[in-house]
Amino acid sequence: MKIIKNPLQKNWSDILKRPTQTIDDIEATVNEIFAEVKTKGDQAITKYTSLFDGISLNNFQVSMEEIVSAEKEISTELKSAIQLAKENITKFHAAQKTDRVEVETQSGVKCWQEKRPIQKVGLYIPGGSAPLFSTILMLAIPANLAGCKEIILCTPPNKEGKINPAILYTANLCGVTKIFKVGGIQAIAGMTFGTETIPQVYKIFGPGNQFVTVAKQLATRFNVAIDMPAGPSELLVFADETAKPSFVASDLLSQAEHGADSQVILVTTSEEILESVEKEVESQLEKLPRKDIATKAIENSKLILVKDEEVALNLINQYAPEHFIVIAENEKFFVDGIENAGSVFIGNYTPESAGDYASGTNHTLPTNAYAKQYSGVNLDSFQKSMTFQKIDEKGIKTIGKAIELMAEAEGLQAHKNAVTLRLKSLEE
């Protein structure tokens, strides 16, 4: 990890750069695959699944027989763990439900807001070296709570054309309606346009690599919404002398092992903590099964020493981390002052892993500084807010003149006439 001591604020932007390719580097590939899936449907899906995943499939949809078989392959202990996580995530997201908001803005003018589910949603679940079945919990649970009618899931197959059994078990447990063995750009394109096999959806959710991130952004050009531009994972930890260095190092490595393009950062006011965490990272890294991946991510990562907590907080808010862990005697200063972060973890005994799996909060979060303007996935992500209004005779008399004056001032005579006709009818 690169050590940086007391960087000047004018250099923060360069220091805090993410190790990601630009969209220009990827967009040509994404455009090509999208165009082919749009015109050739399943034929293009088959081609790119063979090219990228090394398997030719005649049928992408997972059968019920495969789901039943997968359940038998999952240990009782893992099933219990998944069910515990499901209970906590359900509890937290169910608490986010809101009642209808109704206001009488003027006598006879009633306005209200209600939420309606997005009818068709697509969930993208990364497979590859880390089959993220936990992400299904984070997406399918709120989708069901919101009342989504179709919940489509795409995830890449392995070289044998199979899906990790934990993914199939969790998807079935959480009410996913259809599962497809399709990954990467072609999966996002399939859900964007629909094919002979894969249904078209209205909104796509889920994390992925940089290619998936750009594919999701491209999908928005074709009347498909996305949760957020969620790319490679990232974590920033602030730690002072009250932090346990071994805990901090384990948190940094927990995100580093996600992928070579992940980034982890330690910000501290203590040189002793910086040195201790550096040693712990080196020690723990040697014991990780995913050492090679984590090592590459650590090369993109930084240990930053700053002079005081105020500087630290300003730097953290500029970085806008996906995950922010604060271990500090003055934790309230950071909890109250953090403005840009996807999810915040407080204290020595709150590992980021808890949010990834089972505490109840959602782990689908904005990366690449999008925490400055995006929220993480929540119940509202699967709903639309619709407004309603009803005006009676008294109400139109109350606000009618104001509408006429405003419409006329904007030069929109038909708008004015729509009110004038009604007002005159009440004079008869």
Helix (H) or strand (E) holding 323: strand 323-327
Q: DSSP string covering 87-153, please? A: HHHHHHHHTT--PPEEEEEETTEEEEEEEEE-SEEEEE---TTS--HHHHHHHHHHHHHHT-SEEEE
Contact 15, 4 (CB under 8 A): yes
Report, as residue numbers or ranges, the catalytic residues: 322-323
- The length of the chain is 428
- Residue 78 is encoded by which pair of tokens? 């893992």
φ/ψ of 353, rounded to 5, equals -60, -30
- 255 belongs to an annotated ligand binding site: yes
Q: DSSP string covering 162-177, please? A: ---HHHHHHHHHTT-S
With 0-12 / 13-18 / 19 or more C-beta atoms within 10 angstroms meaning exposed / middle / buried, residue 377 is: buried
- 53 belongs to an annotated ligand binding site: no
- 374 belongs to an annotated ligand binding site: no
- 363 belongs to an annotated ligand binding site: no
Contact 179, 190 (CB under 8 A): no
Cα distances (angstroms) measured from residue 340 to each of 74, 201, 359: 39, 30, 21
Cα distances (angstroms) measured from residue 348 to each of 250, 305, 340, 388: 11, 20, 21, 48
Contact 234, 322 (CB under 8 A): yes
- 415 belongs to an annotated ligand binding site: yes
- 93 belongs to an annotated ligand binding site: no
Query: Which amino acid does the sequence have at 33?
Result: I
Q: Which of 237, 277, 238, 234 is nearest to 258 (CA)?
A: 234
Q: Which residues are annotated as a binding site?
A: 124, 186, 209, 233, 255, 258, 323, 356, 410, 415
Binding-site residues from annotation for NAD(+):
124, 186, 209
Annotated binding residues for substrate, written as ranges, equal 233, 255, 258, 323, 356, 410, 415
